[in-house]
Amino acid sequence: MMASDKTVLIVGFDPRFLDFSSPELAPMNLTAEKVLAGLTADTEKLRGLGYEPDGCLVDLGETAESVLSEKLRAKPYRCVVIGAGLRANPRYFHLFEKLLNVVHELAPSARIAFNTKPADTAEAVQRWL
């Protein structure tokens, strides 16, 4: 199965699993609703730019690898964006490594991009596609 040149998978934590009062997240003044709104807005921005984005929200580790694996087996992607929430929090460093290796194994030709917040996902994609 060949990937369209514009297929994008955006991987991040399902915000319903996050503790926004934690020392890592509290200073950012985020809520699950704000995170979801940012993801939705950037997904629509990508669509408007001609990309074909799909989301992949994962839990904090219990099923994250299998959820991502299932998504990558269902459709080929040209770019996989791994969100800053997964990547930047030292508490989830091992999960980030595991998910990065899932992408490497199941989508070896996909470009891998990293955003710094939900609102700059389109810019991350544009750097690689």
Query: Is residue 2 domain-resident?
Result: no
**How does pLDDT run across 83-95, given as a tens digit for each residue?**
988 998 888 999 9
- Write out the residue range of the structural domain in which residue 32 sits: 7-128
Query: Is residue 62 domain-resident?
Result: yes
Query: Is residue 85 domain-resident?
Result: yes
C-beta separation of 11 from 68 below 8 A: yes
Q: 19: domain CATH number?
A: 3.40.50
Mean pLDDT of 107-114: 97
The total domain count for the chain is 1
Q: Kindly report whether the global pTM for this prediction surpasses the value 0.95.
A: no
Question: Distance (Å, rounded) from C-alpha 91 to C-alpha 24?
Answer: 10
Question: Distance (Å, rounded) from C-alpha 10 to C-alpha 125?
Answer: 10
